[in-house]
């Protein structure tokens, strides 16, 4: 009898023990499935790593509390598409991580008949130039107007050719490389464009996208920059330069009156003028590519000449011709003439400012003396020990890289309510006769 009772107790105990094991196993399996699901979702989320703001911390905390919301996750992925998220392990490195949606840039009108406005069409130029943000493409196709993220208008050749519809998601961009004093095409009625442009893309440094005609930067700052560098390796050999001054000109009656300065200089020193204004031609001008033509012409000039007449066609604030930077990059000393404060953009003792001389005779004497003294002349290149010059061909693409980046990162609302005041000949430019009174410019 006692044996029977003991056996029954052992049986009941064993049943309860097995029931407890099965119950725990069931609970464990459910928890494991739940954890796997949340772990998978959290893994997807942690692929997006960047610095969180207060709102994002709230979203993250929801995930930590296992209140996973698929919409929240999608919102965060969309946030990273609009504002590219940096990987914390390589934040100091520049990456070309593809973004989810390519931005379309429509070139609405002509830019001197140049396809792709000298940069190119499609998406390849952004990749070829190693733009940090390269998910953009350029088109001339107006049928893509509605789907375009940015619409660029070349102001000089625009007239009143305005799209009939303006889509709210777009950025309309005021594109101009000529100075505000340029007057050889029908004058644009800028007031008719007030309140339509979101961004400006010009040579002025206060533009939303700054078009660089060139640059001179400390060499230490250029190691990791995405310049397309082709010309700075030229070595100076002053003894082989047998001629003093050269100038290539296509505009023979500029608002800046630079032609008159050159005519006065010719009275006191040898000057060689190439281009449309004279009978002298350079064989490099036969090249079809504007960039290649610039490179070839300046390569030829630097072999013979010590100085280049890099005068501006218009006396307007911020306007600096590409010829200035080409001159520095190709081993000549530029003669500068314009409204820019050159000391802010060029190394000391790298240029000669025409406005500092009272007349053509005093300037000519200074140049001839310098031409005949190679040691003094070479002092104008001491800056190359610490600085690097980039020509127009080297740096023009940077503005397009900047535009692509801005389309992907800048969502700040902006409208130029008075573009006619921002871009104004009367306020931006001066009459050169007031600047060079002692030169007797007519």
54-110 pLDDT tens trace: 433 333 333 333 233 333 334 344 333 333 433 433 333 444 555 458 999 999 999
Write down the number of H helices and E strands in the chain: 14, 13
Question: In the structure encoding, which two tokens stand for residue 232, read together?
Answer: 């700075």
- List, for residues 385-404, the tens digit of each pLDDT value: 999 998 888 888 999 999 99
**pLDDT greater than 70 at residue 209:** yes
Question: Could you tell me if residue 6 is inside a domain?
Answer: no
Please indicate, yes or no, whether residues 410 and 374 belong to a single structural domain of this protein.
no
Count CB-CB contacts under 10 A for residue 347.
Answer: 20
In a domain, 90, yes or no: no
Residues 112 and 169 in one domain: yes
d(C-alpha 153, C-alpha 106), whole Å: 9
**Per-residue model confidence (pLDDT) at position 220:** 82
The reply to whether 354 and 376 lie within a common domain is: yes
- Mean pLDDT (whole number) for 398-416: 95
Q: Give the pLDDT score at 232.
A: 47
Indicate whether 374 belongs to any domain: yes
Residue 366 lies in a domain: yes
For the segment 129-142, the average pLDDT, to the nearest whole number, is: 96
Rounded to the nearest integer, the mean pLDDT of the chain is 79
> Within this chain, do residues 155 and 228 fall inside the same structural domain, yes or no?
no
Whether residue 343 is found in the same domain as residue 206: no
**Residue 142, phi-psi category: left (phi > 0), alpha (psi -120 to 50), beta (remainder):** alpha
Domain hosting 110: range is 103-211+400-428
191 with 252, same domain? no
Average pLDDT over residues 193-219: 93
Pairing of strands 171-176, 199-202: parallel
Q: What is the pLDDT of residue 157?
A: 84
Are 117 and 157 found together in one domain?
Answer: yes
pLDDT digits (tens, 9 = 90+) for 13-68: 666 666 666 666 655 555 555 544 444 443 443 343 333 344 333 333 333 332 33
pLDDT at 88: 35
Segment among 61-70, 186-195, 349-358, 388-397 with least mean pLDDT: 61-70
Total tally of structural domains belonging to the chain: 2
For residues 406 and 320, membership in a common domain is answered with no
Task: Decide if pLDDT at 187 tops 70.
Answer: no
Residue 393 pLDDT: 81
In a domain, 262, yes or no: yes
In a domain, 193, yes or no: yes
Residue 149 domain flag: yes
Whether 384 and 328 map to the same domain: the answer is yes
DSSP for 367-404 reads HHHHHT-HHHHHGGGGGGGTEEEE-HHHHTHHHHHHHH
Residues 341 and 226 in one domain: yes
Q: What is the domain-level CATH number for residue 310?
A: 3.40.50.11660
Is 234 inside a domain boundary? yes
Assess whether 294 and 244 both reside in one domain: yes
Which DSSP string corresponds to 417-440?
Answer: TTHHHHS-HHHHB--HHHH-GGGT
Residue 237 and residue 376 in one domain: yes
């Amino acid at each position: 009898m006692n044996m029977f009772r003991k056996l029954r107790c052992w049986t009941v105990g064993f049943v309860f023990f097995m029931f407890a094991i099965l119950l725990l196993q069931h609970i464990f399996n459910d928890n494991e499935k739940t954890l796997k699901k949340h772990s998978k979702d959290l893994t997807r989320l942690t692929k997006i790593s960047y610095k969180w703001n207060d709102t994002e911390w709230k979203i993250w905390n929801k995930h930590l509390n296992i209140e996973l919301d698929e919409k929240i996750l999608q919102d965060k992925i969309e946030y990273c598409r609009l504002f590219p998220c940096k990987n914390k392990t390589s934040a100091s490195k520049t990456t070309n991580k593809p973004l989810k949606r390519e931005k379309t840039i429509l070139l609405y009108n002509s830019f001197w008949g140049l396809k792709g406005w000298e940069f190119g069409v499609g998406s390849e130029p952004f990749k070829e130039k190693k733009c940090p943000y390269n998910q953009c493409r350029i088109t001339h196709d107006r049928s893509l107007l509605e789907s375009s993220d940015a619409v660029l208008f070349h102001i000089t050749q625009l007239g009143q050719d305005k799209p009939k519809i303006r889509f709210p998601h777009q950025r309309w961009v005021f594109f101009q490389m000529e100075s505000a004093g340029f007057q050889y095409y029908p004058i644009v009625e800028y007031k008719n464009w007030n309140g339509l442009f979101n961004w400006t893309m010009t040579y002025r440094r206060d533009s939303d996208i700054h078009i660089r005609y060139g640059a001179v930067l400390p060499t230490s700052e250029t190691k990791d920059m995405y310049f397309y560098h082709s010309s700075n390796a030229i070595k100076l050999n002053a003894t082989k330069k047998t001629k003093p001054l050269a100038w290539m000109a296509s505009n023979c009656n500029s608002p800046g009156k630079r032609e008159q300065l050159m005519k006065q200089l010719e009275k006191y020193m040898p000057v060689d003028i190439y281009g449309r204004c004279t009978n002298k031609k350079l064989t490099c001008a036969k090249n079809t590519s504007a960039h290649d033509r610039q490179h070839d012409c300046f390569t030829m000039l630097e072999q013979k000449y010590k100085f280049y007449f890099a005068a501006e066609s218009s006396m307007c604030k911020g306007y600096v011709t590409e010829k200035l930077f080409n001159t520095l990059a190709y081993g000549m000393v530029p003669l500068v003439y314009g409204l820019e404060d050159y000391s802010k953009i060029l190394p000391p003792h790298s240029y000669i400012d025409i406005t500092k001389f009272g007349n053509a005779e005093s300037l000519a004497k200074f140049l001839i003396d310098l031409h005949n003294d190679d040691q003094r002349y070479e002092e104008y290149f001491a800056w190359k020990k610490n600085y690097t010059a980039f020509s127009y061909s080297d740096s023009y693409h940077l503005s397009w890289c900047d535009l692509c980046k801005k389309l992907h990162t800048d969502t700040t609302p902006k409208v130029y309510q008075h573009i006619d005041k921002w871009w104004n000949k009367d306020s931006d430019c001066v009459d050169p006769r007031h600047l060079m009174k002692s030169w007797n410019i007519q």
